[in-house]
Amino acid sequence: MKATAKANANIALVKYWGKKNKELNIPQNDSISVTLDKLNTTTTVEFHSRYKEDIFILNEKVQGKYKTKKISRHLNIIRQEAKIKEKAKVQSINNFPSSSGLASSSSAFAALSIAAAKAAGLNLDSRKLSTIARKGSGSACRSIYGGFVEWKTEENNDNGSFSKQILSPECWQQFRVIVVIVSNKEKTISSRSGMAQTVATSPMYESWLKTIDNDLLLMKHAIQEKNFSLVGKIAEANCLKMHSTMLTTSPPIIYWLPQTIKIIRSILEWREENLEPYFTIDAGPQVKILCLEKDVTELKKRLNQLQIAQKIIVCKQGKEALIIR
Ligand code: PMV
């Protein structure tokens, strides 16, 4: 009863921030993302009667009660589906910093769902795996798939909210995301509590929701047409709208660091000069730059000249999450 899965993280181009149903992790709005090939989590799950409690080991360190409890809650969903009682040992490796705004929870819960389901002897399709992954972390339901992905809520019930692929990685090979890591520190406010505070207190929240349907419609069309300028423009504007709901939360949620702003400003300047980068940022200080392959070398050179990046990772579109052992 042991299996290993590997899943890639994803970055949202039209984002979700806020839940309609906290228990089932059903979002206020649909979202669209791209899966990234260089940021991934590899997770091994073993169910066995010799384990008295669930054990969670992340990046070779045994985790304490708080993080293990989250994993146990997720394993309970699988145990219930498979009608088993065994506790599990879960070993996960992230090849990038955890909990710092790089969507580590998206790859983490996608890999955990797939590995645990397989280890428990379940044979689930991608839609069901996406539905299960959603309950660990919303964005994880998108990491079940590769390429460009949409997360839709068709019905406000457990089985009605899951992801689907919009475009496979092979269809748009020039698309790149440059991930610029400016800090390895764990964020102080989790997405889960941050978004709940925003929904409860930001006067901008209702206006943000009103603009989403249009962003989704345009983004999906732009991806299908491979219209890079339109994808970049909508993603950047959508990111700024989400951050404006965070900034106007009480107390304010400011995930950006001075280095984040420096990169934003540089990207705006570089767009005046024959380059076409756009930025997007999640719940953390790291900047993800959307661009085409032709601009990667020059953008990397300029980013290095800024001397603020701890690490620069050039990603192509990632493939779907898979069982590897
Ligand atoms: O996956 P969660 O529930 O931790 O929330 C992720 C929220 C954002 O990354 C900010 C936006 C998104 O759609 O991924």
Nearest Cα residue to 3 out of 115, 81, 90, 113: 115
Spatial separation of the C-alpha atoms in residues 150 and 90, rounded to whole Å: 28
Higher pLDDT, 150 or 100: 150
Q: Give the pLDDT of residue 103.
A: 76
Separation of alpha carbons 315 and 299, rounded Å: 13
Helix (H) or strand (E) holding 93: strand 87-94
pLDDT in tens, 145-164: 999 999 999 998 999 999 99
Among 8-22, 73-87, 88-102, 192-206, name the one with the lowest average pLDDT: 88-102
Given the CA of residue 282, which atom of ligand 1 is nearest to it?
A: 10
Q: Say how many residues make up the chain.
A: 325
pLDDT at residue number 188: 83
CA-242 nearest atom, ligand 1: 10
Atom number in ligand 1 closest to CA 140: 1
Q: Is 78 exposed, middle or buried (0-12, 13-18, 19+ CB in 10 A)?
A: buried
Cα of 15 vs centre of ligand 1, distance in Å, is 7
- Whether the CB of 104 sits within 6 Å of ligand 1: no
What count of other Cβ atoms lies within 10 Å of the Cβ of residue 25? 21
**Ranges 67-76, 177-186, 234-243: which has the least confidence:** 177-186
Provide, rounded to the nearest whole percent, the portion of the chain with pLDDT above 90: 95
pLDDT value for 98: 75
Q: How far apart are CA 298 and CA 304, in angstroms?
A: 10
The DSSP secondary structure of 205-231, one letter per residue, reads HHHHHHHHHHHHHHHHHHHHHT-HHHH
Nearest to 149 by CA among 323, 325, 318: 318
- State if residue 15 touches ligand 1 by the CB under 6 angstroms criterion: yes
pLDDT in tens, 229-288: 999 999 999 999 999 999 999 999 999 999 999 999 999 999 999 999 999 999 999 999
Which residue has its alpha carbon closest to ligand 1 atom 3? 138
178 to 43, 73, 272, 300, 317: CA distances (angstroms) = 25, 34, 19, 8, 11
Q: If you take atom 10 of ligand 1, which residue's CA is the nearest one?
A: 282
**Mean pLDDT for the stretch of residues 71-97:** 96
* pLDDT at residue number 187: 83
Residue nearest to atom 6 of ligand 1 (CA): 139
Whether 100 has a pLDDT exceeding 70, the answer reads: no
The reported pLDDT for the residue numbered 113 is 98
Average model confidence (pLDDT) for the chain? 96
Is residue 283 within 6 Å of ligand 1 at its C-beta? yes
- The answer to whether the CB of 139 is under 6 A from ligand 1 is yes
Using one digit for the tens of pLDDT, what is the confidence trace for 186-243?
888 999 999 999 999 999 999 999 999 999 999 999 999 999 999 999 999 999 999 9
Which residue has its alpha carbon closest to ligand 1 atom 8?
A: 282
Q: Is the CB of 42 under 6 A from ligand 1?
A: no
Pocket of ligand 1 contains residue 167 by CB under 6 Å: no
If pLDDT is split at 50, 70 and 90, which confidence band does 102 have? confident
How many angstroms separate the alpha carbon of residue 185 from the centre of ligand 1? Answer: 18
* Three-point CA angle 199, 203, 205, nearest 5°: 45
pLDDT of residue 104: 82
Whole-angstrom CA distances from 89 to 37, 53, 109, 264, 324 are: 26, 8, 15, 42, 17
CA of 48 to the centre of ligand 1 (A): 32
Say which range, 93-97, 105-109, 115-119, 123-127, has the weakest mean pLDDT. Answer: 93-97
Question: Helix (H, G, I), strand (E, B), or coil: what is residue 200?
Answer: helix
Residue 1 pLDDT > 70: yes
Evaluate: CB of 286 within 6 angstroms of ligand 1: no
With a cut of 70, say whether residue 299 has pLDDT above it: yes
Contacts of 275 (CB under 8 A, 6+ apart): 291, 295, 298, 299
